[in-house]
Amino acid sequence: PRAARPDTVRTRTTCGYCGVGCTLEAVTRDGELTAVLPARDGPVNRGHACVKGRFAHGFLVSPERLTEPLVRRNGRLEPVSWDEALRRVADGVRQAVAEGGPDAVAAISSARATNEENYLVQKFLRVVIGTNNVDNCSRLCHSPSAAGLTAAFGHSGGTDSFDDLERADCLLVVGANPAEAHPVVGARLLQRVLHGGARLVVADPRAVGLAQHADVHLRPRPGTNVALCHGLAHVLLAEGLADEEFLTHRAKGLPELASLLEDYRPDRVFELTGVPAGELVSAARIYGRARRPAIVYGLGVTEHLHGTDGVRALANLAILCGAVGTDHGCGVIPLRGQNNVQGASDMGALPDFLPGYGRVADPGARSRAEEVWGASLPERPGLRIPEMFAGARAGTVRALWIIGEDVCATDPDSNRVAEALDVCPLVVCNELFLSGTARRADVVLPAASWLEKDGSFVNFDRRFQRVRPALSPPGSARSDFDILHAVARALGADLGCPAPADALEECGRTAPVFAGVSHTRLDREGAVPWPCPDPGRPGEAKLYRESFATPDGRAHLAAVPYLPPGEQPDDDYPLVLVTGRRWAHYNSGSMTRRSGNLELASTDWLDLHPDDAARYGVGDGRPVVVESRHGRARLIARIGHEVSPGEVFCAFHFPASGVNRLTSGHADTVTSCPEYKVTAVHVAPALPD
Ligand code: SF4
């Protein structure tokens, strides 16, 4: 390797794109970023990084970066000083509280923000305003994982670390496309299959990258995961592949589940899911006969009308085989999407949970936080994100603070989201760019990016890792941490914890599961998984060795029946649209579209099967109009066999495509996670502009 120039600075930090949590080294010279390199000793990435973490940094110096606050005057956003912007926010918040009480104020926090920022957001809402109206974008992706895994095992997180998967001899990958959405993990999974001898079962409607290496690829119709998992469970029981001893001593709910599973014979599961009985039986045998099986899953499981049931049904498989909380198995691991979606929820940016998942309705959990914060806390759970928009439309939410989210691009049925923002008297956005959401705001506050701030993230296997600033934010942009303090001061309040390290330390006092984690320790050790109640002991990478964290210490099986998705195709809307991610871009694309990655993919496109292309007269590479019961979008068609007949797929990285105008308001019945994975649509060739 070439010797570094003496004026070169290397800053070790954690990737701000996906939830894998790769350790990166940001190289700067004279205050400018010259390279981002994967750290060879990164605990998750071990010298690897993907095309986003490694190269998608052009956005940092984009001329479109916001460098000064904007306030709406006479219908136009105009630059103002920070003092004036903060005054406008404080006046608007005071007015909302005067007119509607504390619950007239709500905030959407961000999985892109650090733990310390998320901690401060929820403290601001609860202590300064007096409401639990705080939520984060995990609502839109893995809230069913939080609910389902907590109910099954006790903690709101994956049961095992990614390192445990290196021991797995069978990988059951469900509703996930890690080769594109979590490339570094996708590569490690593939290594485990190609060189570690693990058998691979992929369950996904699409021919995702890993599927070509699978022993069995199950292609259930979108929205039928619960039936598929029950079919697998039926075979496990019928063929004597369940772990009787584990079920007797460490689990609960077998009689109810066994009774339900009688209705999920492979031939009936074929009718419900389209998966041939022989493939189902083969997959169940591979998982059930493995010595160390692991389940890895993604948003294809959670983003459904019955997403929490899907998580429970998957957890059932691990419990039936005694493959969780034991040396036998490698548990159940959700591949969480955004960099800090685990941490945002861990820090209590949720309407019903305090930091560390104490329920706001639980007097014991509340009084612990009240003691640390010196304030009395509201006990009624707050609004979830979709309820915040409904409240704004109904006039009950009168001030909405959106931190680092382009909700007009990413949230479902986005025409209705835009309506909510337009009628809400005060919308405040912390943003890097003038996004579609920021354009509708009353106050836009210029924010720092992940390469410009100090704090920590929690990755998808519950590891705290440090985030360090390699650069200064442009102009007068500030970190969300500083903005939160400034808004609190403008309201005459003091949030305490002046530095991010103080916030994490204070969080540990409200939430014992994080009490052993601190910036000092992370600087010394690199990564620490939670639960970690003691600074002198390592955190628990693998959970539940002795007992589960449920009230009775047992793993809970769930006898949840399969119920169909919210929308079904019909004569008017004969195709099922599934949305997801592509490898070069990230979510609304606000950062990756402003980087060299735009050359790798310059638009969203619609995958459709050749039979459907012929039926609807759509040509490869030609513009196509996609219409649902909720809206329309315009995309470029790509014809191929990645999708099955009757199904189409697209991403949502280019807001101009309008993909989320198509998606419906159907949401998980337990957590309100939108059903992004099933929307009935029809397609037609687009007329020339
Ligand atoms: Fe960043 Fe995820 Fe890529 Fe790693 S895999 S470099 S965390 S985007």
Domain definitions of the chain by residue range: 8-61, 70-140+339-486, 152-334, 575-685
pLDDT > 60? residue 4 = no
Burial tier of 87 (Cβ tally within 10 Å: 0-12, 13-18, 19+) = middle
The rounded distance, in Å, linking the Cα atoms of 259 and 493 is: 57
Q: What does pTM read for this prediction?
A: 0.92
Edge-first strand listing for the sheet containing 455-458: 455-458, 463-467, 527-529
Topology match between the domains 8-61 and 575-685: no
How many A from CA of 20 to the centre of ligand 1? Answer: 6
The reply to whether ligand 1 has any atom less than 6 angstroms from the CB of 22 is yes
Mean pLDDT of 237-251: 97
Which residue's alpha carbon is nearest to atom 1 within ligand 1? 53
How many A from CA of 424 to the centre of ligand 1? Answer: 36
Side chain identity at residue 320, one-letter code: L
How many A from CA of 313 to the centre of ligand 1? Answer: 29
Pairing outcome for strands 134-136 and 463-467: unpaired
The reply to whether ligand 1 has any atom less than 6 angstroms from the CB of 227 is no
Edge-first strand listing for the sheet containing 399-403: 76-79, 70-73, 443-446, 426-431, 399-403, 105-109, 134-136
Which of 22, 162, 581 to probe ligand 1 with, by most ligand atoms within 8 A of CB?
22
Residue 78 has a pLDDT of 97
How many A from CA of 597 to the centre of ligand 1? Answer: 14
Quote the CATH superfamily of domain 8-61.
ADC-like domains (2.20.25.90)
Give the ligand 1 atom nearest the CA of 586: 8
Query: Could you identify the residue written with the tokens 């693998």?
Result: 542
The reply to whether ligand 1 has any atom less than 6 angstroms from the CB of 412 is no
Which of 13, 20, 24, 48 to probe ligand 1 with, by most ligand atoms within 8 A of CB?
20
Share of the chain above pLDDT 70, in %: 99
The reply to whether ligand 1 has any atom less than 6 angstroms from the CB of 460 is no
- The tens digit of pLDDT for each residue in 36-79 reads 999 999 999 999 999 999 999 999 999 999 999 999 999 999 99
Half-sphere exposure of 678 toward its Cβ, with a 13 Å CA cutoff? 27
Residue 688 has a pLDDT of 67
The reply to whether ligand 1 has any atom less than 6 angstroms from the CB of 183 is yes
The reply to whether ligand 1 has any atom less than 6 angstroms from the CB of 591 is no
Mean pLDDT, the chain, integer: 94
Q: If we measure between CA atoms, which residue out of 547, 456, 676, 529 comes closest to residue 157?
A: 529
pLDDT > 70? residue 589 = yes
The rounded distance, in Å, linking the Cα atoms of 449 and 21 is: 16
Pairing outcome for strands 199-203 and 443-446: unpaired
How many A from CA of 642 to the centre of ligand 1? Answer: 24
Which of 48, 50, 177, 185 to probe ligand 1 with, by most ligand atoms within 8 A of CB?
50
The reply to whether ligand 1 has any atom less than 6 angstroms from the CB of 20 is yes
Give the ligand 1 atom nearest the CA of 24: 6
Give the ligand 1 atom nearest the CA of 53: 6
DSSP 8-state secondary structure symbol assigned to residue 447: B
pLDDT > 60? residue 5 = no
Residue 591 has a pLDDT of 87
Mean pLDDT of 93-119: 96
Residue 137 has a pLDDT of 87
Mean pLDDT of 656-661: 84
Q: If we measure between CA atoms, which residue out of 230, 54, 46, 45 comes closest to residue 592?
A: 54
The reply to whether ligand 1 has any atom less than 6 angstroms from the CB of 49 is yes
Instruction: Give residue 2's pLDDT band: very low, low, confident or very high (50, 70, 90).
Output: very low
Instruction: Give residue 664's pLDDT band: very low, low, confident or very high (50, 70, 90).
Output: confident
The rounded distance, in Å, linking the Cα atoms of 66 and 64 is: 6
**Class of the domain covering 152-334:** alpha beta
The reply to whether ligand 1 has any atom less than 6 angstroms from the CB of 179 is no
Candidate ranges 156-160, 571-575, 585-589; pick with highest mean pLDDT: 571-575
Give the ligand 1 atom nearest the CA of 339: 7
The rounded distance, in Å, linking the Cα atoms of 290 and 329 is: 9
Q: Which two tokens stand for residue 147?
A: 């609910």
C-alpha distance from residue 301 to each of 143, 515, 664 (Å): 11, 32, 17
Instruction: Give residue 583's pLDDT band: very low, low, confident or very high (50, 70, 90).
Output: confident
Residue 531 has a pLDDT of 94
C-alpha distance from residue 124 to each of 108, 440, 635 (Å): 12, 23, 41
Residues 48, 182 contacting (CB under 8 angstroms): no
How many A from CA of 4 to the centre of ligand 1? Answer: 24
Q: Which two tokens stand for residue 217?
A: 């690829």
Give how far the C-alpha of residue 309 lies from the chain's centroid of Cα atoms, to the nearest Å.
18
- The tens digit of pLDDT for each residue in 605-656 reads 899 999 999 999 999 999 999 999 999 999 999 999 999 999 999 988 877 8
- For residue 13, the cross-strand partners are 24
The reply to whether ligand 1 has any atom less than 6 angstroms from the CB of 21 is yes
Q: Could you please report the per-residue DSSP string of 504-524?
A: HHHHHHH-GGGTT--HHHHHH
pLDDT > 70? residue 670 = yes
Q: If we measure between CA atoms, which residue out of 441, 370, 345, 382 comes closest to residue 147?
A: 345
How open is the CA angle 54-605-404, to the nearest 5 degrees?
50
C-alpha distance from residue 541 to each of 24, 162, 615 (Å): 22, 9, 51
Which residue's alpha carbon is nearest to atom 2 within ligand 1? 18
Percent helix, strand, coil in the chain, to 5, is 35, 20, 45
**Class of the domain covering 70-140+339-486:** alpha beta
Residue 597 has a pLDDT of 82
The rounded distance, in Å, linking the Cα atoms of 552 and 479 is: 43
Instruction: Give residue 413's pLDDT band: very low, low, confident or very high (50, 70, 90).
Output: confident
The reply to whether ligand 1 has any atom less than 6 angstroms from the CB of 335 is no
How many A from CA of 480 to the centre of ligand 1? Answer: 22
The rounded distance, in Å, linking the Cα atoms of 640 and 612 is: 10
Mean pLDDT of 436-455: 96
Residues 234, 266 contacting (CB under 8 angstroms): yes
Which residue's alpha carbon is nearest to atom 4 within ligand 1? 22
The rounded distance, in Å, linking the Cα atoms of 407 and 302 is: 19
pLDDT > 50? residue 1 = no
Burial tier of 390 (Cβ tally within 10 Å: 0-12, 13-18, 19+) = middle
Residues in the chain: 689
What are the strands, taking DSSP E only, across 143-266?
170-174, 199-203, 216-218, 251-252
- The tens digit of pLDDT for each residue in 323-376 reads 999 988 889 999 987 889 899 999 999 999 999 999 999 999 999 999 999 999
CATH number of 575-685: 2.40.40.20
Residues 321, 236 contacting (CB under 8 angstroms): yes
The reply to whether ligand 1 has any atom less than 6 angstroms from the CB of 184 is yes
- The tens digit of pLDDT for each residue in 178-210 reads 999 899 999 999 999 999 899 999 999 999 999
